[in-house]
Chain A
Amino acid sequence: MNLKRERLQVIYDILRVIQEKNGRIKPTHILYKANLSSQMFNEYLTDLITKEFIVEHQEKKGKTYSLTQKGFDYLSKYKFILEFVDSFGLNYEEER
């Protein structure tokens, strides 16, 4: 149960880590803070880039990531998103 909430929470955690670092952050740092396996982390990262929550920057020392406006909006509306998902039963998944 609560798979949706977990997913929303993971996205929130990743975005929060980037925000706390005032913009640009290295992937290893996000991986460490988000507490995910590297495979899961890569999936989330790709997903977040595709959905335009974060942008990837190619620098001399390697890749860094920063938040987009959509990413900031997600962080500020996170609590409301959770409340809405809970209120309309969107987080409930029946056992098969």
Chain B
Amino acid sequence: MSWLNRRDLTLNGALIALIAILFVLSLAVGPAGIPLARVFDALFSGEGVAGIIVRDIRLPRTVLAVLIGATFGLSGAALQGLLRNPLAEPALFGAPQAAAAGASLVIAFGLAGATSYAVPLAGIAGTMVAIGALLAIAGRRASLTVTMLAGLALASFAGAAIALILNLAPNPYIAMEVAFWLLGSLQDRSTEHLVIAVPFLVASWVVLGMSARAFRALTLGEDAAASLGVDIDRTRQAVVVGVALGVGAAVAICGSIGFIGLVAPHLVRRMVNSDPARVMLPAALTGAALLLAADIGVRLMPGVVEIKLGVVTALIGVPFFIAMIFSERRMLEGSPS
């Protein structure tokens, strides 16, 4: 019953160990292969070509993968907790698309450089509009049908906004750049990107983590949760702000990457007895491991052009989503609209 019992410690410990292994692998893998034995040397001494590659190129990318993956996992778990629905995922509600619309507006029209705070702020603003509108439309009862339809509409609208920005982009090179960035990637991300993203990501973890207990009470429905002293309106606002901070900043840095928020909580939910509060930490850790693994994967795939990370997560995430719909079909058919 307690927040962190022994089983949770084992689960979270195992996930942290997995992340640690993937972290080292991520420093070793890339066009210039560096033997595992030399990774630590290069990392700590920072000398020579290997030092530059590991420290300046692979380390920021790896840390970003961990932090952004964790943010997506946590955002998914939080949205699912609030809406009491395992199929909730920021990408299905247009959150990354809206963040991308906000951020690409700034990039395409040269309002600010790609590594200024204006980009994540625009991404956060875009996400806040999308998630805020979603919760406003879905209303207090948050029925599955209404939520999904509202999410579909918002995702389409954000897509249209991105198309409009590409359409009106002052020159084709910028349009091309935005289009590629939208595919989602951690390639060539620097410590500068990391510094910009971290405050927003950490703020999002704090805001979402504070609502963990409220999500648990919400398993009884909004009325019962409110009768137990949960401030429903504040919880909803916290989710809007938390998801916007996290997804907005993440998308501003790495472009549109989806489905981590859907897949990560699902993989660990049974191990915490479906407790929407206890699932948050392992969901974040699983998200980190997944994104890190995917980012190592894109570097291992043969080919001249590196496949974009967002493409990989969508290619894996969408079939996973379909499989989830399939397995939850009975529950979905029985659910009141």
Chains A and B come from one and the same complex: no
* B interface list, Cβ under 8 A from A: none
* A interface list, Cβ under 8 A from B: none
